[in-house]
Chain A
Amino acid sequence: MIRVVHYLNQFFGGIGGEDKAGAPLQVHRGAVGSGRALAALLEGEAEIVRTLVCGDNAFHADPEGNLDAALAAVAEAGADLVLAGPAFNAGRYGLACGAVGAGAGERLGIPAVTGLYTEAPAVDVYRSRVVMAAAADSAAGMRPALEGMVRIGLRLARGGGLLPAEEDGRIPMGYRAGWAVRTPAAVRALDMLAAKLSGEPYTSEIGLPARAEPAPPAPAVADLSGAVVAAVTEGGLVPEGNPDRIESSGATRWARYPVSMFEEGGGPAFRSVHAGYDTRWVDADPNRLVPIDALRSLEKEGVIGELHDHVYVTTGTGTAVTEAERMGGEMARRLLADGVQAVIATST
């Protein structure tokens, strides 16, 4: 019989509501509160040997101490599996479930599953560290959430592995696993195309990451002929030797280089370190990525007021949306400080 330790907050543990959120960690033998429904689902295959119940505020008042105490109880119980929650869309409760689940796996080597709504705050914090069964945003979805946790949890406790997130009813953990498929990629792609053309449903094999927050359009430049214009690129163009160590992929760094470095001979050559495109044409002539020559002639013609004296560079392949937003914000503040009024950006 698989031995399960179940973690609950004060509400689902039957102690009380928000007024009992300060209740300290308690260790019970057997199933408690909403754990009784879980025990019914596990019947014959697994047994809830302990239930840990802790108030939502109490847990976070001393997260390290409570985690240590919870894991000590898990170890003492000889658990084969830890199930936490489900916590649905709850903030404090979800974070406690994430902490206990991550601790069980990382410190004790015991598989753990929690149940969370995909947009719960704990998802971003713990998604890579705890297996999360996808749950509804409220306790109205208790039964399917418990069923998902049990299905995945029992498999893990028996030494089985994870299936792809969608198949498993899990929240994706943010990494890819390889497995063999019988149909070659070209055939799958053409099947997808055929489905798309005939208006049938199909599922992409590439999950797109979180989308950037849309930004409202900036106001138009009032007078281009008087405007300072800067060039920005995600094409990874850096001086020979890449002094700022801008990454080839998954960039976390950006830099700006004086336009004079591009225009004056004798300086270091510019090369692209971008790992996402064939850079030979840009390496041969960086103007093909950062149109300094064109902007300079437009400046001479009076179409623009002035070419800003620095070029802004990062690498835009495999770059996390959050990093891209941070770097974009940093660039924007610098451009504003330098009086730039319009930007010509290029993307490969």
Chain B
Amino acid sequence: MIEKHGIPAVLLTAMTSMALAAGANRIRSSGLIPHPVGDPDRGPEEEAAWRRDQVGKALAAAAATIDEARIFADW
């Protein structure tokens, strides 16, 4: 609905196929189901750096022009 109102919204989730089925347009695979932008196996600093990287890549998807719903892979 947020995209419908004209705001690009990037969904970070481990369940990308469900996100696609639910109608999200900009989707990025990230983390695991209970912590899409967390990785508790890393130390705190490394986890924060990883998260910053994930969110940075997601933001790039908000700046990408797309014609239809898409799962953004790493690039």
Residues in chain A within 8 A of chain B (CB atoms): 208, 211-222, 224, 227, 229, 232, 235, 277-282, 284-285, 287-291, 293-295, 297-298, 303-304, 324-325, 327-329, 331-333, 335-336, 340-348
Specify which of A229, A232, A288, A336 is in contact with B6 (CB 8 Å cutoff).
Answer: A336
Specify which of A224, A285, A327 is in contact with B62 (CB 8 Å cutoff).
Answer: A224
Closest to B15 in A: A347
Q: Which residues of B contact A290 (CB under 8 A)?
A: 37
A225 to chain B, nearest CB (A): 10
Interface residues of B in 19-33 (CB under 8 A from A): 19, 21-26, 30-31, 33
Q: Which residues of A contact B9 (CB under 8 A)?
A: 218, 232, 342-345
B62 lies within 8 A of A328 (CB):
no
B7 lies within 8 A of A332 (CB):
yes
A217 lies within 8 A of B26 (CB):
yes
- Chain B, interface size: which category? 35 or more
Interface majority SS (helix, strand, loop, mixed), chain A = mixed
Q: Which residues of B contact A279 (CB under 8 A)?
A: 34
Assuming A213-B23, A214-B23, is B38 touching A287 (CB within 8 A)? yes
- In Å, the complex CA distance between A221 and B10 comes to 11
- In Å, the complex CA distance between A295 and B12 comes to 14
Closest to A296 in B: B52
Closest to B1 in A: A328
B59 lies within 8 A of A304 (CB):
yes
A217 lies within 8 A of B21 (CB):
no
For the complex of A and B, list the 7 residue pairs with the smallest distance between their C-beta atoms, beginning with the closest: A288-B38, A328-B1, A215-B4, A332-B5, A343-B9, A288-B35, A212-B23
B65 lies within 8 A of A219 (CB):
yes
Q: Which residues of B contact A328 (CB under 8 A)?
A: 1-2, 4
Interface centre among A211, A281, A297, A342 (most CB of B within 10 A): A342
Q: Which residues of A contact B34 (CB under 8 A)?
A: 277-282, 348
B5 lies within 8 A of A277 (CB):
no
B8 lies within 8 A of A342 (CB):
yes
- In Å, the complex CA distance between A329 and B4 comes to 8
- In Å, the complex CA distance between A277 and B15 comes to 13
Interface centre among A218, A285, A289 (most CB of B within 10 A): A218
